[in-house]
Structure 1
Amino acid sequence: MGYTREELMAAISAGMPAKRWQHVEGVMESAVILAKRYGGDPEKADLAALLHDLAKFWPIDEQEAIIRDNDLNTELLAYDKQLLHAEVGAFIARWDYGVGDQEVLDAVRYHTSGRIGMTLLDKIVCLADYIEPGRNFPGVERIRELAETSLDDALIAGFDSTISFLLEKHKVIFPMTVLARNDLIQNKTE
């Protein structure tokens, strides 16, 4: 990787509002705590959390173009535009910031949707994004409580919350999120 942690932090924070940067810092803190609690790699958790929203505030048309022009997951284009930044972020982390660790890149890529067969790092970053201290949505306290004793149960509750929210708003649900939730239930490791 061609950037120091401090250089990455400066570059990424410059591309988002201060409130979003506070969120990223909260996800970094939460990811390191979860990694230590569940036997993950705190350095990888910190890096993936740092990178997870790097494209969040890029123009949607630019994100769509990156996905189309680089043979990324075009299925995302048919769903909520909030999903795009994860795929684009993983791509940019590799090509613009020189991150070569596929596990870190995948944790960035799947932090919004989840996936079947989530790795420990995938789970940590996804859950940290749900429970970071700045998050305030109905049910977040319960998810935080579950995260104290079960990574899988907390993540299932997070996916349940997202799916319920989308159902209430009559929005389409990205199938991979449902599949990730089901896979967690069927293969709970705790």
Structure 2
Amino acid sequence: MLKQLTRDVPFTGNLKSDIRLFLTANNCPKTAGHCIDVGNEARRVAILFHADADAAETAGWLHDISAVFPNHERIAVARELEIEVLPEEEAFPMIIHQKISKAMARDIFRITDTEILDAVGCHTTLRRGSTLLDQVLFVADKIAWDQSGEPPYIRELLRSLDKSPAHGAFAYINYLWERRETLKVVHPWLKEAYEELKGKVMVQ
């Protein structure tokens, strides 16, 4: 299945260029631009908080490479890739794209750094026990969002990010949590991240 996606891609060995080529060849040029933007933002945030800037940028480039699979195919794709599918993901397949991107980063782009892979794999929901790199990618994706206009949560996120990536991440998760009745699903990883970060952020 993954070989079909790469058959006509003239890979160069330069990861940034190859991700752009891969997404463009698979009819996702807008996603290619978004991934580069998130990589840039992740590097900026990483430098501010003394995280690994190269790893953060790489994770940003890779985070949405699963956009090549439309929503209605994602559950079948996840199962073929032997990814665990949670009930919430089956109900709202968009959210499993983070796990598929992680698998594709490993299997197509030969990423072996587990910190990068794990950050890609939780960039939409975050997770309990999130690392600094997880949090950097999470907030970078929310700052460099792929919709038009200004994100409704952005001012609070940026204000909180002045303290730490954990504070920035919590600002966004709290924004969702306050509106959880309107969400299609509440992913268990998001709930766990909310509960954990709330305890940490409120005492700092």
Normalised to the residue count of structure 2, the TM-score between the two structures is 0.82
Bigger Rg, which one: 2
SS of residue matched to 1:97: coil
**Structure 1: how far apart are the matches of 2:200 and 2:66?**
32
State the Cα RMSD in Å: 2.3
The structure, 1 or 2, with the larger RCO (C-alpha pairs under 8 Å, 6+ apart) is: 1
Asked if structure 2 preserves the Cα contact closer than 8 Å seen for 1:79 and 1:172, the reply is: yes
Alignment equivalent of 2:56, drawn from 45, 68, 80: 45
Asked if structure 2 preserves the Cα contact closer than 8 Å seen for 1:79 and 1:174, the reply is: no
Report what 2:174 is aligned to: 160
**Structure 1: how far apart are the matches of 2:23 and 2:29?**
11
**Structure 1: how far apart are the matches of 2:43 and 2:138?**
12
Report what 1:7 is aligned to: 18
Report what 1:171 is aligned to: 184
Superposed counterparts of 1:63-78, under 5 Å: 63-75=74-86, 77-78=89-90
Q: Deviations over 1:96-132 (max 9, x none)?
A: 1111111111111000111100011100001101112
Shift of residue 84, structure 1, vs aligned partner: 1.4
Number of residues paired by the alignment?
A: 188
**Structure 2: how far apart are the matches of 1:161 and 1:16?**
32
Report what 1:150 is aligned to: 164
Alignment equivalent of 2:95, drawn from 83, 88, 91: 83
**Structure 2: how far apart are the matches of 1:31 and 1:91?**
20
Alignment equivalent of 2:45, drawn from 34, 37, 41: 34
Report what 2:139 is aligned to: 127
Report what 1:92 is aligned to: 104
SS of residue matched to 1:155: helix
**Structure 1: how far apart are the matches of 2:123 and 2:183?**
22
Report what 2:7 is aligned to: none
Normalised to the residue count of structure 1, the TM-score between the two structures is 0.87
SS of residue matched to 1:74: coil
**Structure 2: how far apart are the matches of 1:13 and 1:141?**
32
Taking only the aligned residue pairs, the percentage that are identical comes to 23
Note the residue ranges of structure 2 that are not aligned, 5 or more in a row: 1-11
Alignment equivalent of 1:20, drawn from 20, 31, 36: 31
**Structure 1: how far apart are the matches of 2:29 and 2:82?**
32
Shift of residue 164, structure 1, vs aligned partner: 3.4
**Structure 1: how far apart are the matches of 2:33 and 2:179?**
24
Report what 1:180 is aligned to: 193
The one-letter code of the counterpart of 1:36 is I
The one-letter code of the counterpart of 1:161 is Y
Structure 1 ranges of 4+ moved more than 6 A: none
SS of residue matched to 1:55: helix
Q: More displaced, 79-88 or 34-43?
A: 79-88
**Structure 1: how far apart are the matches of 2:90 and 2:20?**
31
Asked if structure 2 preserves the Cα contact closer than 8 Å seen for 1:48 and 1:108, the reply is: yes
Check if 1:56 corresponds to 2:62. Answer: no
Asked if structure 2 preserves the Cα contact closer than 8 Å seen for 1:3 and 1:97, the reply is: no
**Structure 2: how far apart are the matches of 1:86 and 1:133?**
15
Note the residue ranges of structure 1 that are not aligned, 5 or more in a row: none
The one-letter code of the counterpart of 2:194 is R
**Structure 2: how far apart are the matches of 1:3 and 1:187?**
41
